[in-house]
């Protein structure tokens, strides 16, 4: 009886794996078939190149996106026509859909929090269904973030209380602003660790019901904070922060790896990898922060952002393998599936995709993305990296 149960169990495991693994007499090939995934932090910009950026996401099995509002002008209103100083969620969403985002199952555009944001905007936006998230930018902390306000001015505000009342997610760029160079980053602390030790505890205390996504976290401090926080606090992690460290950026000054928050140290990378590969974890999910620039190095400095359109799932898979995940096992595949495909939709309250996409354990070479605004360099091209996973179909 026991041997029969064992045989049946082995048969079940084989049936599960056979959907994902293929072996030939000439050598092993491995394919993984997953639900289409959601990029819950990405940039599609504005203008004639938008369609190329959206298509790059669709081509890599992406079923939906949270499109950042730090456009020019910012998405700082909920509805109505575009004005000189602000777009609306309604207007920018329509632009994105016209550029191809109508093919997404989900499209979320957060409201850029500025000093002009009101409680009425939150209430009316929630009631209309247009408003599902708001975005906090530290002033001058990243691209087009000059419209933001200090977190100290938001903590305890009526705007955040309105977001609590209406279940609106706060998406946070978690870095302290206006620091000197030595305070911005050194071996002991940096802009992110200071934010998560000095601001985030106060934010949670003042707004205990506020749903929060700590975006593109980069440090052990942030990962441990999110892991210990209530269930309504989650985090996105980018492929570059799971793969690379400050040493990769500095050695040879590989400026295509320059993003904000900047890649950190080996201990930080190890903590991020541990967070995403912890069995049963539901708090950490995919958000690439993919940020296209047609001109990366400029006379006034390097533009911040890694472009990972077309290759993010492959990069994530490479990071999981480097973290010790075995994709030939059901456990390894499930771990990856939860991070890439399931945790994000569950946190934002929409269903996982019923559509599928397939990746193969095989080399893939990336090319420049040609757009009407000029070519954009994907991160693998900028690093002369050949992907070890490829997309099938």
Burial class (CB in 10 A: 0-12, 13-18, 19+), 15: exposed
Round to whole Å and give the CA distance between 242 and 297. Answer: 24
289 is catalytic: yes
First-to-last alpha carbon distance for the chain, in angstroms, is 44
Round to whole Å and give the CA distance between 134 and 145. Answer: 14
Round to whole Å and give the CA distance between 166 and 78. Answer: 15
Residue of 39, 153, 165, 289 with catalytic role:
289
**259: alpha, beta or left? (left if phi > 0; alpha if psi -120 to 50):** beta
Question: Using the 8-state DSSP alphabet, how is residue 61 labeled?
Answer: T
Round to whole Å and give the CA distance between 273 and 257. Answer: 18
Q: Quick one: how far is CA 63 from the chain centroid?
A: 14
Round to whole Å and give the CA distance between 289 and 236. Answer: 9
**144: alpha, beta or left? (left if phi > 0; alpha if psi -120 to 50):** left
- Using DSSP's 3-state secondary structure scheme, residue 359 falls into strand
Candidates 134, 52, 143; CA nearest to 101 is 52
Round to whole Å and give the CA distance between 209 and 229. Answer: 12
Q: Which residue has the tokens 């996401």?
A: 57
Asked whether the beta carbons of 387 and 380 are under 8 A apart, the reply is yes
Maximum Cα–Cα distance across the chain? 75
Catalytic residue numbers read: 289
């Amino acid at each position: 009886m026991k041997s029969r149960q064992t045989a049946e169990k082995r048969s079940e495991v084989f049936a599960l794996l056979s959907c994902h693994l293929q072996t030939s007499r000439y050598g092993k090939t491995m394919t993984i078939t997953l639900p289409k995934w959601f990029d819950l932090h990405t940039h599609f910009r504005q203008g004639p190149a938008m369609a190329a950026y959206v298509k790059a996401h669709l081509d890599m099995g992406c079923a939906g996106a949270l499109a950042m509002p730090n456009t020019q002008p910012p998405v700082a209103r909920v509805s109505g026509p575009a004005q000189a100083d602000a777009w609306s969620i309604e207007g920018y969403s329509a632009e994105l859909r016209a550029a191809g985002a109508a093919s997404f199952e989900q499209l979320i555009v957060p409201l850029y929090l500025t000093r002009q944001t009101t409680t009425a905007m939150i209430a009316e936006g929630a009631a209309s269904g247009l408003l599902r998230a708001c975005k906090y930018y530290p002033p001058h902390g990243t691209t087009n973030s000059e419209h933001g306000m200090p977190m100290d001015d938001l903590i305890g505000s009526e705007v955040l209380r309105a977001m609590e009342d209406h279940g609106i997610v706060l998406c946070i760029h978690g870095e302290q602003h206006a620091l000197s160079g030595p305070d911005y980053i050194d071996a002991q602390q940096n802009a992110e660790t200071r934010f998560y030790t000095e601001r985030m505890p106060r934010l949670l205390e003042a707004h205990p019901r506020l749903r929060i996504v700590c975006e593109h976290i980069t440090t052990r401090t942030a990962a441990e904070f999110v892991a210990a926080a209530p269930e309504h606090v989650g985090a996105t992690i980018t492929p570059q922060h799971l793969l690379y460290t400050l040493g990769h950026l500095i050695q040879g000054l590989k400026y295509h790896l320059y993003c904000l928050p900047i890649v950190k140290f080996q201990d930080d990378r190890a903590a991020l990898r541990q967070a995403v590969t912890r069995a049963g974890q539901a708090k950490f999910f995919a958000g690439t922060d993919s940020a296209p620039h047609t001109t990366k190095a400029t006379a006034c400095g390097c533009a911040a952002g890694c472009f990972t359109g077309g290759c993010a799932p492959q990069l994530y898979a490479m990071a999981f393998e480097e973290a010790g995940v075995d994709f030939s096992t059901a456990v390894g595949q499930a771990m990856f599936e939860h991070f890439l495909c399931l945790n994000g939709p569950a946190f934002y309250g929409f269903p996982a995709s019923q559509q599928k996409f397939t990746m193969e354990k095989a080399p893939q070479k990336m090319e420049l993305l040609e757009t009407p605004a000029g070519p954009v360099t994907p991160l693998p091209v900028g690093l002369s990296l050949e992907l070890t996973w490829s997309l099938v179909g």
